[in-house]
Structure 1
Amino acid sequence: MALPSSKICHDKDLDERTEWKEIGCGGFGTVYKVRHKVRGFVAIKRLWNRGTIDELYKEAECLTKLSSEFVLTVYGIYNGNKFPQFREGIVMEFMEKGSIETLQKDLSSPPPLPLAVRLAYQVAKGMQYIHSKDFVHHDLKPSNILLDNDFNAKLADFGLSRKTTSVFPSSEQSEEGTRGTIAYIPPEAFAKNYKIIRSFDVYSYGILLWSILSGEEPYPGKPVSLVKYSIDRGDRPDVSLCLVEEKEKKTAVIELMEHCWKQKPSDRPDFNEIVQKSEPIFSLHKDGIDAAIHDVLLKLRQNQSGSSSQFSQANAAELVPSPTPGNDVVDRPSDKVQQPSNVVETEDLTEEEKVAIVDDIREAVIQNNTHVMAIAEDLKKREMIQKETYSEIEAKETNEAKMRELYKSLRAADLVKVAFYDALKKHEPNILKSHGDT
């Protein structure tokens, strides 16, 4: 695939001060969070094997052709020296909240029903668009549905996508070699020379709905051969796991889910029908989405310290060291901060830039703040920190110790750091003004 020069990202286009943070692994390589000088944070997917370079270019081209509000945006191809043995990578939109899979792991439960319904609807809209362009995704699953800062869903990982007229090579038909993710593959796809059609994605969407509603993985712990056997004979994941809570509110979405994973492809709906059926379900729950997101953010903050997902680990702030005994200091006026020669303008910043600044000036804020409790009060009013956290901050004896305690709460999510930045700008503008390029 030939790309114009404007679509090539070189090392000089990236901020050399920020490290490459691994945020996930896919079938073809590793994904990193990197700061671009113009775009802010981006995701770069690097290859593991140079033999898959054609697949990488194919995925980039596919994402470009399928540009949509429900499909991950691709900015171009990375060509640099960060990893000399593997120079190429895809430069993509960075999705702040990871994927549906990481959300499930971090919550240790399914998302609240209004958010779950919105995710299902947005995926359906994205798939409707993809199919209208004569493409199938061919690997629809929770890890390939990415989430932005407001938990909106976008389809990603098009390494297996293709035109609907393609055929599986016979060499890919063994139990171990079938391309795609075994638990999401429909029964007919295990046959030799299976022609990929849209109903493949419809079946996968049904299993995806089950995973969203249950918060579980389908067929956990079962060997590939047993999963294939179960799918062939018509077994599906346990629907009762989706009905632990709010059973009466899930009737319509459960019916849609079971319709999608029918054994015969001809019995399944297409995505035009799926969108038509899911739209009224989404409308019914629409008013509860803001409250659902609020509940999710609170639970993520509570669970952050025990989070196992790569995304959460990559985006968590560094552990803030406890104050050293005997190192207590008196309050210092903020106008004593040394002013660097290069001062950056702090107006009209993106959320990513605010997060980066909060991380960069941590020690300056800890050592030079005078309004820590005012900042904490603002965060408490916005429900970004809990009352218990506020009390722990208040209990510390010095401003420095208070701010160190407050910074610990900023590990919960980038959204909290953005709120902290806004409070800092209100109460400690001189500290922000002292932040420079160096």
Structure 2
Amino acid sequence: MPSPIPVTRLLPRDFGLELGVCSSPLTKQSGDTTLRVPVIAFHGKLACRLWSSVIHWRELRDLEPIGSGGFGLVSRATYLGETVAMKRVRCAKNKLASRQSFWAELNAAHLRHENLVRVIAASTQSNATDDDGVIGTIIMEYAGDLNLQQLIYSAAEPLRRESCVRHATDVARALRHLHAHGVVHLDVKPANVLVSHAGVCKLADFGCSLKLEIARDRDASPRRLEIGGTYTHRAPELLRGEDVTPGADVYSFGVTLWQLFTREPPYEGERQHVLYAVVAFNLRPDLNKPVFNTSGPIKDLISRCWSAEPNQRPSAEQLLTELSELPA
């Protein structure tokens, strides 16, 4: 069972509800173990509701597995009459990391933005009979089966320039909203960006995310950084164990933008060699690709995104401004 987590990990400080004393987010309700967070009464459309700390299992139907990984299993399902995605987080070899990953998934649960995958409900239980090792279940908006990784590398033809800029703009909007609310994603990469049927990019998978107020806690941040992200997109200051800032997401955004235009993997070679070269020799993906010969502003923007100094990288707000000013 997860260790007691302050309710402030789950809700913004200015949420506006009387919370009373709560030493643990876990409590018993009708025989179920659920997260102890205030829940708005169900009414109106599902899209208008605050995320719920209670999953109504009888309303969950038609489960169909659509993906799996070290975290567990993702299924498509119907919940309260709407198509959703359900993630069952399992305990991996590193039990602490698994539990932290589950709680991190809820760091942005209170946020609503068209470029963020919305959390609908979460519970520390599972409705499955084989729930041994399940840390928790999260029900999320179903944003489609396609991610940006597949779009970049599986398409028969290169993405059009305007499509690359549009997708990058969607991701930058998501980062602006996250950072404005004190959350850093810490695993921005094409595989974690879902592309809806309408072509809208939505940032997903918050298992590595962190609230900046916790990142500034010297006692908590070193342990949290052990969970890591994806090494090809991880900012050098994080590889050195330094402070977490929104600039870490901007660095990852720069690598993602490079992938959109080149359709190539960022690095080749052994993981440990790449990590050492990124930190010690300022290694970055190759910007001398033919695609950048006619895209000077894009090349310049990417270069500044992955500056070695976080304070020299543009903010998410600046990313949006510069992307909007790119020549057609």
TM-score bracket, normalised by the shorter chain, equals: 0.7 to 0.9
1:84 maps onto 2:131 in alignment: yes
C-alpha distance in 2 between matches for 1:46 and 1:207: 29
C-alpha distance in 1 between matches for 2:168 and 2:257: 7
Indicate the residue corresponding to 1:181 in structure 2: 230
1:1-400 matched pairs, under 5 angstroms: 1-3=35-37, 4=39, 7=52, 8-15=54-61, 18-25=62-69, 28-39=71-82, 41-49=83-91, 51=95, 52-53=98-99, 55-60=101-106, 62-77=107-122, 79-81=126-128, 83-85=130-132, 86=134, 88-107=136-155, 110-165=158-213, 166=215, 167=218, 170=222, 179-192=228-241, 194-220=242-268, 222-232=269-279, 233-241=281-289, 243-244=290-291, 247-248=293-294, 250-281=295-326, 285=328
Query: Alignment partner of 1:23: what SS?
Result: strand
Once the two structures are superposed, residues 318-353 of structure 1 have per-residue CA deviations (whole angstroms, 9 ceiling, x without a partner) of xxxxxxxxxxxxxxxxxxxxxxxxxxxxxxxxxxxx
C-alpha distance in 1 between matches for 2:164 and 2:145: 15
C-alpha distance in 1 between matches for 2:178 and 2:143: 20
C-alpha distance in 2 between matches for 1:279 and 1:70: 17
C-alpha distance in 1 between matches for 2:85 and 2:99: 18
Bigger mean CA deviation after superposition, 62-71 or 255-264: 62-71
CA contact (8 A) 2:103 2:207 kept: no
Could you tell me which runs of 5 or more consecutive residues in structure 1 were left unpaired when the two chains were aligned: 286-438
C-alpha distance in 2 between matches for 1:231 and 1:12: 50
Deviation at 1:231, TM superposition (A): 0.8
Deviation at 1:111, TM superposition (A): 2.2
C-alpha distance in 1 between matches for 2:131 and 2:236: 42
Indicate the residue corresponding to 2:47 in structure 1: none
Once the two structures are superposed, residues 22-71 of structure 1 have per-residue CA deviations (whole angstroms, 9 ceiling, x without a partner) of 2343x5332222233511x21111112184345324413x2322221111
Deviation at 1:255, TM superposition (A): 1.4
Judging by fraction of residues, say which structure has more strand. Answer: 2
Amino acid at match of 1:48: R
CA 152–247 in structure 1, closer or farther in 2 if over 3 Å, else same:
farther
CA 10–110 in structure 1, closer or farther in 2 if over 3 Å, else same:
farther
Deviation at 1:216, TM superposition (A): 2.1
CA contact (8 A) 1:109 1:215 kept: no
What RMSD over aligned residues (CA atoms) do the two structures have, in Å?
2.6
Query: Alignment partner of 1:20: what SS?
Result: strand
CA contact (8 A) 1:81 1:87 kept: no
Once the two structures are superposed, residues 285-341 of structure 1 have per-residue CA deviations (whole angstroms, 9 ceiling, x without a partner) of 5xxxxxxxxxxxxxxxxxxxxxxxxxxxxxxxxxxxxxxxxxxxxxxxxxxxxxxxx
CA 14–171 in structure 1, closer or farther in 2 if over 3 Å, else same:
closer
| Structure of larger gyration radius | 1
Query: Alignment partner of 1:91: what SS?
Result: strand
CA 56–108 in structure 1, closer or farther in 2 if over 3 Å, else same:
farther
Q: Which ranges of 4 or more aligned residues in structure 1 deviate by more than 4 Å?
A: 167-173
Aligned length: 270
Indicate the residue corresponding to 1:415 in structure 2: none
Amino acid at match of 1:80: N
CA 108–183 in structure 1, closer or farther in 2 if over 3 Å, else same:
farther
Judging by fraction of residues, say which structure has more helix. Answer: 1
